[in-house]
């Protein structure tokens, strides 16, 4: 499936509604307010009020806050570090709604030493309080060290020495804590942090709790806020995968998050109210188990994951007190004071211990329990080990039973996801479980036999790393998960002792006695730290290391942080806000979006390029930074699904992103250096094709997607000039100056045109080509159409061949490309429409044939991937295609009948299974239809779309719409995480001149030219977070 890439620029919207959105005037229909003296901006309204505590003592690794008196009118306050208030030196920005006389602005991008701060205020009308000196800040000799780092799967949260918290990583997983920044500023110090998979919960010194991150994973605690306000102090928080459980000073427990993951404890509320105090809590993936002061256990959450302990209630009632609880993914094992063990939960995951009941009944006391995802291992007082649960995950230790019988006592046990490793009293190691995940030590057995004692072991998802008494490290298990440490063998051989090891899912980081760090394992999981090697060489000692699933963060002795690994998982702690990217003076924004990655690139008016999003697919431009810095201006950016290509003013091309999918041009670098200028670049899903001034074509990227054109090299070398190129997901089609067409790439997606070669050989010139995801349609000079490619995507037009043979010439074609099929709709010069291809994408017009037969001319057609909408000359609209994709407009037929002319239509992206349309009418009102939660239902904002204030343009993401009105305000509806809910903090601050839509995000330009983006929080931008830094 082709994932659509939408690009909209200042002067023209790709889904233009027939009005110049860059030149917006106030609607004459808006009733004027009663006459009163206009508010006049004056510099007297802009005054500094100092740095409120605790920010007056923050340091060069921090973000101080300046309080400023502001005019009581809507506008933008900006702070700069130079007296000319230049955009290059912006250090702070805040939207002011006019309701308060002062505001606080968090500063960033401050250099060491004394910085003079200057301010400027711009109101809605563009009037300014010009640049004036506000205050100064001294960053010299301040102490603001990082104390502790916490992590979930994709984000980090660090507590600083003053009790404040900073976060980074995936925003929606808690990497963005801006919504609670005031509660985490250290005014009330944070003392500890807990994490679910996608959210954080911070305990403060007054016993209150602050939460942020994904609301469905516990990031929203508003439902229990009175219980977490510190009136009864919270002392500890435990997390399951999607819920939190807070233990309070009175022994009561408060829960929130996903109900099915233990967020709802109402069924056991009387047992958790503190009457019998809870002393500790343990979690499985979806459940909790709490030990109370009388030794009894209370459990809740998913019944199949240990939330229901009724089957063993008589053993957990405290008659024999429980002292500790261990858990697998879906079961619990409770250790009692008599040394016996009680288990419950999913049998496959260790909830059933009947097979070893006589071994864990306390006759020989169990002293500790360790777990893999699906099995338990109990260490007994005689040094023996008993195991149960899934045999392939370590539940069966019969293969090493003699080594675990206590004759040489086991002293500690460690686990990967599916294997155990036991250290014995002689320093040797015994492993069992899944061999590929560390259950076999055969390759390193001589290193683990105790000749040199093993003192501790760290585990990744599928590998072990053992530290020996001489400071050396031995690894085994799954090679790509860190078991292969050969590349750093000389660094972990003990010549400089390793003192501790941290791990992500597939990599290790070893801290050595000299403060240096050595890493190995999967590079995308933090195994490659070469980019920060100078920061980890021990010059400034590393004191501790934390990890998410795919990234590391090291605290150094000077309180600074060094991060590496996957940027999307916290491996890049540099600020990703608009301030650090300086999203101002933007000409256009482009997106590279696939199932796995989302990246963005913005072209600035000075010809430079900035990028953000997933580093791997183009969000990181460091490899080409000097090539796109504007020294040679970039004139356009082209994106495929995985990479970007920038065309520069000298005709050269620079590419970055996933190298095998178009991000690497090294194989054709001499062809793209500008010696023969490139005039245009076209993208398939994973490749590029560049048209040069001599009519030749150069291609690169994946062969699967048309990156290899060697089979047609002689046809596109410029002997006969190529004049234009089109692309499906996996193929290209080039029109030559003689009217012939050359194709290459995936044969099934239009790369093979042999079946129609005689029709596109130039005998009758081809004048234009349109593409769906997997097929092409060529209009010829006689008005006929030729198609080829996948039949389910419009490649077979035999059913309408007589209608598109040129007898009635076709003048234009629109394509509706969906994830399961595509269709074409051809507009003929008599105003009629002919369609073919996949019915559920609009390929069948039988239900509306009499309405698009030209009796009333169709003047334009809009697709959305699931359907078509045709505007007729009388202002009415006709739709067809998938009923849940906008193909059925019967519910709004009276509003689309032309009584009020429809002047333009926008569609959602059509990438998912459903879609919708939104039509602007001549009175400035908007009518919507299609899948309701994809933007087809605008009833919640109907009063804002009724034309009282004209809507002048609309854009659509995959599941939402955004409309700019003539007063510059923005109205949104549809799925909130796709841009359907714009923050009130933004609304009113758009200048109405710029709207961009990708699959999940919208962007607009504010009153001072900064870009703000909303929708998917992972790729959103707030200019008010300028230059955030540690």
Name the percent of the chain lying above pLDDT 70: 92
Q: What pLDDT shows up at residue 161?
A: 76
Q: What is the mean pLDDT of residues 523-531?
A: 90
Q: How far apart are CA 994 and CA 1005, in angstroms?
A: 6
Residue 326 clears pLDDT 70, i.e. is over it? yes
- Token duo for residue 528: 């490659």
Residue 309 burial (10 A CB sphere; 0-12, 13-18, 19+): buried
Q: Which fold has domain 46-138?
A: Immunoglobulin-like (2.60.40)
> How confident is residue 576, by pLDDT bands cut at 50, 70 and 90?
very low
Question: In 203-249, which ranges are continuous DSSP H helix?
Answer: none
Contacts 24+ apart (CB under 8 A), 694-697: 694/718, 694/721, 695/720, 695/721, 695/722, 695/723, 695/736, 695/737, 696/722, 697/722, 697/725, 697/734
Q: What pLDDT shows up at residue 712?
A: 98
- Token duo for residue 131: 């640049």
Q: What pLDDT shows up at residue 1017?
A: 73
Q: How many CB atoms lie within 10 A of CB 472?
A: 18
Q: How far apart are CA 432 and CA 436, in angstroms?
A: 10
Of 625, 643, 628, 719, which is closest to residue 681 (Cα–Cα)?
643
Q: What pLDDT shows up at residue 956?
A: 94
pTM of the predicted model over 0.75: no
What are residue 561's DSSP bridge partners?
A: 555
CA dihedral 692, 697, 701, 706 (to 10 degrees): 140
> How confident is residue 583, by pLDDT bands cut at 50, 70 and 90?
low
Q: How far apart are CA 218 and CA 198, in angstroms?
A: 8
Q: Lowest-pLDDT range, 203-212, 537-546, 894-903?
A: 537-546
Of 877, 804, 876, which is closest to residue 834 (Cα–Cα)?
804
> How confident is residue 779, by pLDDT bands cut at 50, 70 and 90?
very high
CA dihedral 525, 528, 530, 535 (to 10 degrees): 60
Q: Lowest-pLDDT range, 34-43, 169-178, 438-447, 723-732?
A: 34-43
Q: What is the mean pLDDT of residues 378-399?
A: 96
Name the percent of the chain lying above pLDDT 90: 70
Q: How many CB atoms lie within 10 A of CB 549?
A: 19
Q: What pLDDT shows up at residue 154?
A: 86
> How confident is residue 1028, by pLDDT bands cut at 50, 70 and 90?
very low
Angle, alpha carbons 535-537-541 (nearest 5°): 80
Q: Look at 47 and 312; give whichever has higher pLDDT.
A: 312
Q: What pLDDT shows up at residue 172?
A: 86
Residue 24 clears pLDDT 50, i.e. is over it? no
Under 8 Å between Cβ of 681 and 638: yes
Q: What pLDDT shows up at residue 87?
A: 84
> How confident is residue 595, by pLDDT bands cut at 50, 70 and 90?
low
784-811 confidence digits (pLDDT tens) = 999 999 999 999 999 999 999 999 999 9
Q: What pLDDT shows up at residue 363?
A: 96
Residue 577 clears pLDDT 70, i.e. is over it? no
CA 285 to chain centre: 23
Angle, alpha carbons 243-327-169 (nearest 5°): 45
Of 886, 938, 923, 161, which is closest to residue 555 (Cα–Cα)?
161
HSE (CB half, 13 Å, CA atoms) of 771?
A: 24
Q: What pLDDT shows up at residue 140?
A: 58
Q: What is the mean pLDDT of residues 688-712?
A: 97
Q: What is the mean pLDDT of residues 18-32?
A: 33
CATH 2.60.40.10 in the chain, residue ranges: 46-138
> How confident is residue 661, by pLDDT bands cut at 50, 70 and 90?
very high
Q: What pLDDT shows up at residue 390?
A: 96
644-655 confidence digits (pLDDT tens) = 999 999 999 999
SS3 content of the chain, % helix, strand, coil (to 5): 15, 40, 45
> How confident is residue 578, by pLDDT bands cut at 50, 70 and 90?
very low
Q: How far apart are CA 430 and CA 631, in angstroms?
A: 61
Q: Look at 210 and 621; give whichever has higher pLDDT.
A: 210
Q: What is the mean pLDDT of residues 865-875?
A: 96
Q: Look at 527 and 1030; give whichever has higher pLDDT.
A: 527
- Token duo for residue 274: 């503190």
Q: Look at 507 and 126; give whichever has higher pLDDT.
A: 507
Q: What is the mean pLDDT of residues 349-378?
A: 97
Q: How high does pLDDT run on average in the chain? A: 89
475-524 confidence digits (pLDDT tens) = 999 998 999 999 999 999 999 999 999 999 999 999 999 999 999 999 88
Q: What pLDDT shows up at residue 13?
A: 33
Q: How far apart are CA 257 and CA 66, in angstroms?
A: 35
Q: How far apart are CA 477 and CA 462, in angstroms?
A: 6
Q: What is the mean pLDDT of residues 565-578?
A: 62
Which secondary-structure segment (H or E) carries 145? none
207-238 confidence digits (pLDDT tens) = 999 999 999 999 999 999 999 999 999 999 99
Q: What pLDDT shows up at residue 373?
A: 95
Q: What is the mean pLDDT of residues 885-906?
A: 97
Q: What pLDDT shows up at residue 63?
A: 60
Residue 7 clears pLDDT 50, i.e. is over it? no
Q: What is the mean pLDDT of residues 620-639?
A: 94
> How confident is residue 1012, by pLDDT bands cut at 50, 70 and 90?
confident
Q: What pLDDT shows up at residue 269?
A: 96
Q: What pLDDT shows up at residue 993?
A: 74
Q: What is the mean pLDDT of residues 177-206?
A: 91
3-state DSSP assignment of residue 998: coil
Q: How far apart are CA 721 and CA 467, in angstroms?
A: 66
Q: What pLDDT shows up at residue 742?
A: 98
Q: Look at 187 and 496; give whichever has higher pLDDT.
A: 496
Q: What is the mean pLDDT of residues 619-634?
A: 93
> How confident is residue 28, by pLDDT bands cut at 50, 70 and 90?
very low
Q: What is the mean pLDDT of residues 267-295?
A: 97
Q: How far apart are CA 896 and CA 891, in angstroms?
A: 10
Q: What pLDDT shows up at residue 20?
A: 30
Residue 60 clears pLDDT 50, i.e. is over it? no
951-974 confidence digits (pLDDT tens) = 999 999 999 999 999 888 899 999
Residue 574 clears pLDDT 60, i.e. is over it? no
Task: Label residues 437-455 b or e (16+ Cβ within 10 Å = b).
Answer: bbbbbeebeebbeeebbbe
Under 8 Å between Cβ of 1017 and 978: no
924-950 confidence digits (pLDDT tens) = 999 999 999 999 999 999 999 999 999
Q: What pLDDT shows up at residue 167?
A: 87
Under 8 Å between Cβ of 638 and 645: yes
User: Would you give the DSSP letter of residue 423?
Assistant: E
> How confident is residue 619, by pLDDT bands cut at 50, 70 and 90?
confident
Q: What pLDDT shows up at residue 145?
A: 64
Angle, alpha carbons 684-772-752 (nearest 5°): 70
Q: Lowest-pLDDT range, 400-409, 532-541, 796-805?
A: 532-541
């Amino acid at each position: 499936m082709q994932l659509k890439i939408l690009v909209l620029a200042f002067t023209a919207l790709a889904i233009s509604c027939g009005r110049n959105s860059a030149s917006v005037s106030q609607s004459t229909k808006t009733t004027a307010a009663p006459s009163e003296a206009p508010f006049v901006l004056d510099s007297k309204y802009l005054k500094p009020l100092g740095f409120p505590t605790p920010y007056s003592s923050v340091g060069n690794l921090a973000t101080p806050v300046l309080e400023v008196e502001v005019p009581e009118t809507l506008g933008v306050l900006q702070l700069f570090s130079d007296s000319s208030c230049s955009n290059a030196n912006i250090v702070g920005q805040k939207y002011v709604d006019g309701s308060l006389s002062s505001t606080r602005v968090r500063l960033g991008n401050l250099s060491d030493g004394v910085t003079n701060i200057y301010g400027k205020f711009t109101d809605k009308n563009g009037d300014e309080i010009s640049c004036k000196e506000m205050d100064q800040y001294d960053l010299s000799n301040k102490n603001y060290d990082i104390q502790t780092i916490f992590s979930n799967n994709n984000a980090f949260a660090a507590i600083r020495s003053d009790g404040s918290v900073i976060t980074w990583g995936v925003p929606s997983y808690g990497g963005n804590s801006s919504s609670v920044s005031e509660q985490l500023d250290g005014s009330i110090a944070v003392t500890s942090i807990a994490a679910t998979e996608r959210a954080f919960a911070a305990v403060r010194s007054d016993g209150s709790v602050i939460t942020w991150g994904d609301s469905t994973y516990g990031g929203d605690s508003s439902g229990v806020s009175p219980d977490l306000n510190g009136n009864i102090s919270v002392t500890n928080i435990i997390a399951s995968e999607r819920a939190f459980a807070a233990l309070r000073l009175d022994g009561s427990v408060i829960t929130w998050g996903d109900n099915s993951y233990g967020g709802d404890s109402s069924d056991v509320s009387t047992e958790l109210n503190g009457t019998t105090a809870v002393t500790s809590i343990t979690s499985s993936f979806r459940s909790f188990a709490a030990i109370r002061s009388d030794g009894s256990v209370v459990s809740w959450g998913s019944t199949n994951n240990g939330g229901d302990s009724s089957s063993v209630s008589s053993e957990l009632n405290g008659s024999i007190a429980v002292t500790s609880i261990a858990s697998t993914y879906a079961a619990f094992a409770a250790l009692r004071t008599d040394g016996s063990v009680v288990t419950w939960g999913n049998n496959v995951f260790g909830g059933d211990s009947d097979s070893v009941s006589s071994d864990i009944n306390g006759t020989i006391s169990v002293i500790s329990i360790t777990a893999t995802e699906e099995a338990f291992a109990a260490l007994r007082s005689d040094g023996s080990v008993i195991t149960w649960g899934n045999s392939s995950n370590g539940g069966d230790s019969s293969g090493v039973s003699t080594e675990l019988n206590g004759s040489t006592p086991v002293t500690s046990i460690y686990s990967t996801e599916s294997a155990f490793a036991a250290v014995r009293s002689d320093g040797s190691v015994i492993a069992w479980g899944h061999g590929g995940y560390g259950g076999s030590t055969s390759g390193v057995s001589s290193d683990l036999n105790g000749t040199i004692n093993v003192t501790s072991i760290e585990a990744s998802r599928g590998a072990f790393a053992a530290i020996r008494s001489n400071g050396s490290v031995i690894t085994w298990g799954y090679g790509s998960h860190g078991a292969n440490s050969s590349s750093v063998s000389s660094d972990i051989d003990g010549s400089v002792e390793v003192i501790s090891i941290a791990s992500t899912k597939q990599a290790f980081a070893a801290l050595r006695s000299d403060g240096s760090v050595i890493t190995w394992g999967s590079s995308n999981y933090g195994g490659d730290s070469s980019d920060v090697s100078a920061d980890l060489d021990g010059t400034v000692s590393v004191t501790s290391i934390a990890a998410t699933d795919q990234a590391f963060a090291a605290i150094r002795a000077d309180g600074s942080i060094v991060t590496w690994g996957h940027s999307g998982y916290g491996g890049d702690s540099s600020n990703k806000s608009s301030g650090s990217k300086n999203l101002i003076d933007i000409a256009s924004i482009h997106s590279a979006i696939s199932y796995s990655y989302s990246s963005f690139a913005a072209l600035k008016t000075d010809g430079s390029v900035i990028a953000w999003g997933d580093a791997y697919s183009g969000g990181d431009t460091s490899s080409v930074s000097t090539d796109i810095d504007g020294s040679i201006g970039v004139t356009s950016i082209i994106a495929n699904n995985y990479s970007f290509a920038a065309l520069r003013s000298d005709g050269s091309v620079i590419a970055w992103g996933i190298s095998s999918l178009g991000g690497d041009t090294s194989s054709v670098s001499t062809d793209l250096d500008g010696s023969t200028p490139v005039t245009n670049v076209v993208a398939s899903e994973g490749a590029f094709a560049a048209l040069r001034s001599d009519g030749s074509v150069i291609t690169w990227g994946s062969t699967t997607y048309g990156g290899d054109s060697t089979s047609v090299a002689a046809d596109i070398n410029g002997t006969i000039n190529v004049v234009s190129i089109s692309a499906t997901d996996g193929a290209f089609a080039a029109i030559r100056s003689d009217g012939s067409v050359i194709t290459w790439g995936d044969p099934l997606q239009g790369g093979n045109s042999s079946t129609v070669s005689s029709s596109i050989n130039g005998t009758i010139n081809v004048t234009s080509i349109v593409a769906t995801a997997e097929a092409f349609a060529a209009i010829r000079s006689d008005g006929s159409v030729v198609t080829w490619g996948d039949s389910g995507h419009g490649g077979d037009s035999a059913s309408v061949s007589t209608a598109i043979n040129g007898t009635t010439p076709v003048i234009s074609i629109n394509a509706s490309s969906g994830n399961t099929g595509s269709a074409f709709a051809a507009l003929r010069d008599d105003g009629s429409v002919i369609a073919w291809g996949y019915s559920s994408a609009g390929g069948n017009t039988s239900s509306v044939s009499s309405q698009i037969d030209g009796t009333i001319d169709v003047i334009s057609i809009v697709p959305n991937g699931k359907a078509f909408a045709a505007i007729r000359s009388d202002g009415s609209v006709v739709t067809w295609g998938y009923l849940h994709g906008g193909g059925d407009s019967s519910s709004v037929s009276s509003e689309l009948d032309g009584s009020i002319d429809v002047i333009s239509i926008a569609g959602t992206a059509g990438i998912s299974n459903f879609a919708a349309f939104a039509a602007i009418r001549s009175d400035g009102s908007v009518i919507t239809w299609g899948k309701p939660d994809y933007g087809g239902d605008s009833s919640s904002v109907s009063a804002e779309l009724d034309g009282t204030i004209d809507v002048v343009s609309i854009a659509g993401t995959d599941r939402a719409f955004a409309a700019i009105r003539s007063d510059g305000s923005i109205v949104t509806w549809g799925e909130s995480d796709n841009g359907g809910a714009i923050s009130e903090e933004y609304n009113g601050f758009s200048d109405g001149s710029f709207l961009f839509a990708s699959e999940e995000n919208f962007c607009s330009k504010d009153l001072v030219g900064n870009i703000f983006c909303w929708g998917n929080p992972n790729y959103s931008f707030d200019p008010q977070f300028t230059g955030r830094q540690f």
